Amino acid sequence: MPPFTRPATRRVHDSEHARLLQCVEAILERSDRAVPWEPDTVGLPDARTDSALARINDVAFYANARNEVSALAGLCLDLLGLHSPDDQDDPHCQGCRLPWPCPTFGEITRLLG
């Protein structure tokens, strides 16, 4: 069936998959382009407590955020690549073969939506 005659629900799920893919690609691109953080790059926000351990946690979070965001965005891209609709009239997930949208894609949509 040509794409312009596909059922409307199919096009909605295809466009939702494409929208999430674009969203995650943009996150990955921004994190990869960002300058790695260092304490004197932009400083640290004011501490909420006097705890040295909490401050160490803050520094560790900011220092690792860029790489961790990139890793998580890469994982999301891989999952979206695995869980995508096939090109059949009655679409199924190419990864898990369940009817489209599969539960994994539904969960990704819920979490990133």
Query: Do 19 and 76 touch, CB atoms closer than 8 A?
Result: no
Nearer to Zn ion, 74 or 95 (CB): 95
Nearer to Zn ion, 13 or 66 (CB): 13
Nearer to Zn ion, 31 or 91 (CB): 91
Interacting residue ranges for Zn ion, rule: CB under 5 A: 83, 93, 95-96, 102, 104
Nearest to 82 by CA among 74, 94, 71, 99: 94
Least separation, in Å, of the C-beta of 100 and Zn ion? 8
Distances (CA, A) of 40 to 34, 53, 84: 15, 19, 43
Least separation, in Å, of the C-beta of 92 and Zn ion? 8
